[in-house]
């Protein structure tokens, strides 16, 4: 490096943060990049796919309704790209709409778990002692309750609605995250930079937000991306039981359920299209999460 005589006027050197390093590593991972592209495409499909078809997810095509099995297959002529569902509704429009619901549930679940779980776990872990004990026992208790049972009760008592589904998913999704965040916090809080902050007199909430949480985020983001598919599967299972989203709305799980019921009549497209989107999205989420984990692993530094 050349000697800089006038430091005040010298150009400020740009630093490369760990995030930038991680991004560079992530983009070197081909599988992760490919799955990111798949996820972007699926999201675009969910957002704008509805514009490509004249049909809506609840309209019944009366012309073909009586003969779905022979005439209702995928065809560009009838503008039913993915064919019809057993009631004669356009499957393409329904897959678009189901994708919206499923992705939304996955993302909302992951967001709740990131925000609530991380702050909860970091607070419990950092403050420690009795508060930690109480907070983590609450998590244990919530985990011990069979959530599926609670969710079914919720849906039965308060009526089946997407909102209740979100509440149910919100209630359970942050528990694991809180434990993971707490565990990580315990290892970070003994690092010297946290001690330095304590010695300087930085207040506890600021230490948690400024020093603990940013260093947790690597682990948390990875776990969150892996949580998205499990939330989607969770919703699919609920919908498969018939308790999830209600007609005319639908989701991947409900569509797959419907398609699976028609399998023996030879109308495999009803199962195939939703299953295809379900599978590629889950695969993509898993690879994306793996890629993130490799990229953010501090040991690679």
Partner 1 sequence: MNAQSPLLSVRDLKVWFDIKPKGAMPWTSPDKLKAVDGVDFDLMPGETLGIVGESGCGKSTLARAIMRMVPAEGGTVLWLGDDLLSLNKQGMREHRKEMQMIFQDPLASLNPRMTIGQIVAEPLKTHYPDVSKAEVKTRVREVLDRVGILPNMINRYPHEFSGGQCQRIGIARALILRPQLIICDEPVSALDVSIQAQVINLLMDIQQEMGLSLIFIAHDLSVVKHISTRVMVLYLGNVVEISEAEQLYRAPGHPYTQALISAVPIPDPKAHAENEVMLLDADLPSPLNPPSGCVFRTRCPLAEKVCAETKPPLTDRGNGQQVACHVI
Count the Cβ atoms, other than its own, within 10 Å of residue 252.
28
Q: Is 205 in the site for partner 1 (CB under 8 A)?
A: no
Distance of CA 116 to the CA centre of its chain: 15
Site string for partner 1, 270-299 (x = CB under 8 A): ----------------------------x-
Q: Is 137 in the site for partner 1 (CB under 8 A)?
A: no
Which member of 5, 41, 170, 196 binds partner 1 (CB under 8 A)? 196
Q: Is 301 in the site for partner 1 (CB under 8 A)?
A: yes
Q: Is 11 in the site for partner 1 (CB under 8 A)?
A: yes
Residue 135 preceded by cis peptide, ω within 30: no
Q: How far apart are CA 185 and CA 121, in angstroms?
A: 8
Please give the backbone phi and psi of residue 276, each rounded to the nearest 5 degrees, phi first. -60, -50
Instruction: Please report the sign of the dihedral spanned by the C-alpha atoms of residue 128, residue 129, residue 133, residue 134.
Output: negative
Cα end-to-end distance, the chain, whole Å: 23
Instruction: Give min distance, CB of 17 to partner 1, in A.
Output: 5
Q: Is 75 helix (H, G, I), strand (E, B) or coil?
A: strand
Q: Is 248 in the site for partner 1 (CB under 8 A)?
A: no
Burial class (CB within 10 angstroms; exposed 0-12, middle 13-18, buried 19+) of 264: exposed
Q: Is 214 in the site for partner 1 (CB under 8 A)?
A: yes
Instruction: Give min distance, CB of 142 to partner 1, in A.
Output: 23
Which member of 18, 24, 87, 153 binds partner 1 (CB under 8 A)? 18
Q: Is 12 in the site for partner 1 (CB under 8 A)?
A: yes
Q: Are the beta carbons of 26 and 291 closer than 8 angstroms?
A: yes
Q: Is 129 in the site for partner 1 (CB under 8 A)?
A: no
Q: Is 195 in the site for partner 1 (CB under 8 A)?
A: yes
Site string for partner 1, 140-159 (x = CB under 8 A): --------------------
Site string for partner 1, 41-70 (x = CB under 8 A): ------------------------------
Q: How far apart are CA 287 and CA 301, in angstroms?
A: 21
Instruction: Give min distance, CB of 202 to partner 1, in A.
Output: 5
Count the Cβ atoms, other than its own, within 10 Å of residue 179.
19
Footprint of partner 1 (CB under 8 A) = 4, 7-8, 10-19, 191-193, 195-203, 206, 210-211, 214-215, 298, 301
């Amino acid at each position: 490096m050349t000697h800089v005589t006038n430091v005040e006027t010298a150009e400020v050197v740009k630093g490369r943060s760990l995030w930038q390093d991680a991004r560079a590593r992530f983009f070197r991972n081909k599988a992760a990049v490919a799955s990111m592209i798949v996820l972007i495409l699926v999201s675009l499909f969910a957002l704008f796919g509805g514009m490509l078809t004249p049909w809506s997810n609840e309209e019944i095509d009366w012309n073909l309704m009586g003969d779905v099995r022979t005439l209702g297959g995928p065809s560009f002529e009838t503008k039913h790209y993915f064919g019809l569902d057993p009631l004669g509704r356009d499957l393409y429009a329904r897959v678009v709409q189901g994708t919206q619901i499923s992705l939304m549930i996955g993302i909302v679940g992951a967001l709740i778990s990131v925000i609530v779980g991380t702050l909860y776990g970091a607070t419990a872990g950092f403050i420690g002692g009795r508060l930690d004990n109480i907070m983590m026992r609450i998590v244990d208790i919530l985990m011990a309750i069979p959530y599926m049972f609670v969710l079914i009760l919720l849906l039965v008592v308060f009526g089946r609605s997407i909102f209740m589904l979100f509440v149910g998913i919100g209630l359970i999704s942050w528990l694991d995250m809180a434990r993971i965040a707490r565990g990580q916090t315990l290892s970070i809080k003994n690092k010297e930079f946290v001690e330095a902050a304590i010695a300087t007199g930085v207040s506890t909430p600021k230490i948690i937000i400024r020093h603990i949480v940013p260093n947790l985020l690597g682990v948390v983001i990875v776990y969150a991306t892996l949580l998205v598919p499990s939330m989607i599967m969770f919703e699919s299972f609920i919908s498969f039981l018939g308790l999830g989203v209600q007609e005319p709305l639908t989701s991947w799980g409900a569509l797959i359920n419907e398609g699976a019921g028609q399998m023996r009549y030879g109308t495999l497209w009803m199962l195939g299209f939703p299953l295809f989107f379900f599978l590629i999205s889950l695969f993509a989420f898993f690879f994306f999460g793996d890629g993130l984990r490799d990229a953010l692993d501090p040991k690679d530094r």
